[in-house]
């Protein structure tokens, strides 16, 4: 009798685990993908395939798609310098798993490259380059009167964050990554907040709940500390203010107007909220159109899509605590409104995504460069090295 009871109990447990596995099959699949996403044999394919294993909101291509003009192709420099080191360009492309590379100057694309099986029809995740797009949408919402001022508290639009670390934080604090939120952004630390957030999202739990769980460690507006979840809160403000999803607002305000040639995808959580801090997926050529939009100070074919003053404010460090500086012996880039200003730059600014995604814009040269990558080395050496190497290559190219 005891043996039979034990067998029944084991059978019940097996049935329960099988049932739970079936019920949470999608979440478990997503979690497994996240945990194995950055392995060399998976990373490039994963970076172009997000809509196949996570939920996304589609940003449909423009009803009147228009390709950027393309002129006779440039040749890349065979090598470039970083300090006293000479780096072979193709070796750098290979080492960083460069999936796409585009140079635009004057009025045309001057060079385009695809690697690792990518083609012009493939989308690629932007990671934190998404943040710069969110910045542009916030500027448009201000111009539209949907947001009154960036000095408003975020909780005026997202009251569910009252009582969290985001109470007392302004929209400007969020734009400047100066919320004061206590957050560990170390991708190399398995238990860091950024990696914990990734697993949280993989299970489909609403990002709003994760934001509400965070606490404050500094006075807002006094220190620039990169906290990805700040951009998620900006996304929540945008949705509340406009009454539209981020996907809808970006299509109406930008994607249609710039003649996007392909559908884009915003990753969404189980509450249908976009992963504003890093979930945008688009083609190399359509990322280039965002580069051109900012190179032209927010104008497209003579129409001002993003307010010119907003583009200027977004792409320069306005306050002392976001200026370029040397801190603990390390050169720190400046920060605008979700845009980076490279240390020592004159007028250059850039959108950056982890694993080596760049839209690097140099107005003096009337040029920009887009680099899409699946740099599997990034986690092993999460330092400034790859950013410095990429910027050195960009400068070498545009000096010609």
- The CATH number linked to 294 is 3.40.710.10
355-387 pLDDT, tens digit each: 999 999 999 999 999 999 999 887 655 457 899
245-299 pLDDT, tens digit each: 999 999 999 999 999 999 999 999 999 999 999 999 999 999 999 999 999 999 9
172-187 pLDDT, tens digit each: 999 999 999 998 878 7
CA-CA distance, 251 to 249, in Å (whole number)? 5
In a domain, 25, yes or no: no
CA-CA distance, 328 to 323, in Å (whole number)? 15
In a domain, 4, yes or no: no
Q: Coil, strand, or helix at residue 8?
A: helix
The pLDDT of residue 38 is: 79
In a domain, 18, yes or no: no
In a domain, 20, yes or no: no
CA-CA distance, 280 to 74, in Å (whole number)? 29
Q: In total, how many domains does the chain have?
A: 1
The pLDDT of residue 379 is: 62
The domain of 363 spans 37-398
Q: What percent of the chain stands above pLDDT 70? A: 90
R_g of the chain computed on alpha carbons: 22
Q: CB-based burial of residue 234 (10 Å sphere; 0-12 exposed, 13-18 middle, 19+ buried)?
A: buried
For residues 325 and 107, the answer to whether their CB atoms sit within 8 Å is no
CA-CA distance, 353 to 92, in Å (whole number)? 18
In a domain, 308, yes or no: yes
**pLDDT > 80? residue 14:** no
294-346 pLDDT, tens digit each: 999 999 999 999 999 999 999 999 999 999 999 888 889 999 999 999 999 99
351-362 pLDDT, tens digit each: 999 999 999 999
- Output the pTM of the full model: 0.91
Structure tokens at 102: 């585009």
In a domain, 340, yes or no: yes
In a domain, 2, yes or no: no
In a domain, 219, yes or no: yes
List, in sequence order, the alpha helices (H) in 181-260.
193-202, 207-212, 228-242, 246-250
């Amino acid at each position: 009798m005891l043996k039979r009871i034990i067998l029944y109990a084991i059978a019940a447990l097996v049935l329960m685990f099988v049932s739970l596995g079936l019920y949470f099959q999608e979440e478990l699949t997503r979690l497994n993908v996240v945990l194995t996403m950055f392995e060399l044999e998976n990373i490039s394919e994963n970076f172009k395939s997000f809509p196949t294993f996570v939920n996304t909101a589609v940003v449909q291509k423009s009803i009147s798609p228009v390709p950027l003009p393309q002129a006779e192709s440039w040749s890349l420099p065979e090598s470039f310098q970083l300090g006293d080191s000479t780096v072979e360009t193709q070796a750098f492309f290979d080492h960083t798993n460069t999936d796409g590379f585009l140079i635009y100057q004057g009025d045309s694309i001057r060079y385009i490259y695809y690697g690792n099986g990518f083609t012009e029809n493939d989308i690629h995740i932007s990671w934190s380059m998404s943040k710069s797009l969110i910045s542009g949408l916030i500027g448009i919402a201000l111009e539209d009167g949907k947001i009154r001022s960036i000095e408003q508290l975020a909780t005026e639009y997202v009251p569910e964050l009252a009582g969290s670390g985001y109470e007392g934080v302004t929209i400007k604090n969020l734009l400047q990554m100066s919320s004061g939120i206590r957050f560990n952004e170390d991708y190399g630390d398995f238990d860091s907040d950024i990696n914990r957030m990734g697993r949280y999202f993989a299970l489909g739990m609403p990002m709003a709940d994760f934001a509400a769980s965070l606490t404050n460690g500094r006075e807002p507006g006094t220190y620039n500390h990169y906290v990805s979840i700040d951009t998620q809160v900006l996304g929540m403000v945008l949705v509340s203010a406009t009454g539209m999803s981020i996907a809808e607002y970006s299509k109406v305000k930008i994607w249609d107007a710039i003649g996007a040639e392909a559908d884009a995808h915003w990753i969404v959580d189980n509450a249908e909220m976009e992963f504003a801090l890093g979930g945008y997926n688009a083609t190399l050529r359509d990322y280039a159109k965002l580069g051109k939009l900012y190179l032209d100070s927010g104008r497209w074919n003579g129409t001002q899509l993003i307010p010119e003053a907003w583009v200027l404010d977004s792409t320069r460090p306005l306050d002392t605590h976001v200026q370029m500086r040397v801190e603990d012996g390390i050169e720190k880039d400046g920060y605008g409104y979700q845009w980076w200003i490279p240390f020592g730059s004159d007028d250059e600014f850039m959108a950056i995504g982890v694993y080596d995604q760049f839209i690097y814009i140099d107005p003096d040269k009337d040029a920009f460069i887009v680099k899409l990558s699946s740099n599997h080395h990034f986690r092993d050496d999460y330092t400034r090295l790859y950013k410095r190497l990429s910027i050195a290559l960009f400068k070498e190219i545009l000096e010609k």
